[in-house]
């Protein structure tokens, strides 16, 4: 947090999250979420929530963005923006999935905006204290 190069991307990331929110597929909840993540290679990946008639098949916006990033070869998240009707934080499952691709040392800022553009800010690992992560497993 407080890396000037990352902070400089804040408005760009928030705008991307709010723009992509229009693509949310939310026929059941009508609760549209847009997310944008900045990766350490400079690329930005966006995502929306994609619901399913079999409700458990729903994927949140944040995980859509992470899965797009990882499948395109990016690995390290440096910042996260989430745009909703009421400026909420990512759900617990998304926090865990985001944390897999972030480092506690470079704890990514999480910017949350509502429809009025009100910004709340925290960090990913502040949202996921005492987290279980890759560092706890044997790695080849």
Question: Which residues does the annotation mark as catalytic?
Answer: 62
Q: Is 49 in the site for ligand THU (CB under 6 A)?
A: yes
Residues 6+ apart with CB under 8 A from 132: 96
Sole binder of ligand THU in the list 66, 80, 94, 110 (CB under 6 A):
94
The CA-based angle 4-48-125, given to 5 degrees, is 45
Q: Is 44 in the site for ligand THU (CB under 6 A)?
A: no
Q: Cβ–Cβ contacts within 10 Å for residue 127, how many? A: 18
Q: Is 80 in the site for ligand THU (CB under 6 A)?
A: no
Q: Is 26 in the site for ligand THU (CB under 6 A)?
A: yes
Q: Is 29 in the site for ligand THU (CB under 6 A)?
A: yes
Q: Is 107 in the site for ligand THU (CB under 6 A)?
A: no
Least Å distance between CB 101 and ligand THU?
A: 16
Total of chain residues touching ligand THU, rule CB under 6 A: 13
Classified as helix, coil or strand, 3 is: coil
Torsion 87-115-6-66 (CA) sign? positive
Pairing of strands 109-113, 119-123: antiparallel
Positions that interact with ligand THU (CB under 6 A)? 26, 29, 31, 33, 49, 51, 58, 60-62, 90-91, 94
């Amino acid at each position: 947090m407080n890396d000037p190069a990352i902070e400089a991307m804040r408005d760009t990331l928030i705008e991307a999250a709010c723009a992509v929110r229009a693509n949310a597929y939310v026929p059941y909840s009508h609760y549209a979420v847009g997310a944008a993540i900045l990766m350490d290679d400079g690329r930005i990946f966006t995502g929306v929530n994609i619901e399913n008639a079999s409700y458990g098949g729903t994927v949140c916006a944040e995980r859509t963005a992470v899965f797009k990033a990882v499948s395109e070869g990016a690995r390290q998240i440096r910042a996260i923006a989430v745009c909703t009707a009421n400026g909420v934080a990512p759900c617990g499952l998304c926090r865990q999935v985001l944390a897999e691709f972030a480092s506690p040392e470079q704890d990514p800022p999480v910017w949350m905006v509502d429809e009025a553009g009100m910004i709340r800010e925290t960090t990913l690992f502040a949202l996921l204290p005492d987290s279980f992560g890759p560092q706890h497993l044997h790695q080849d």
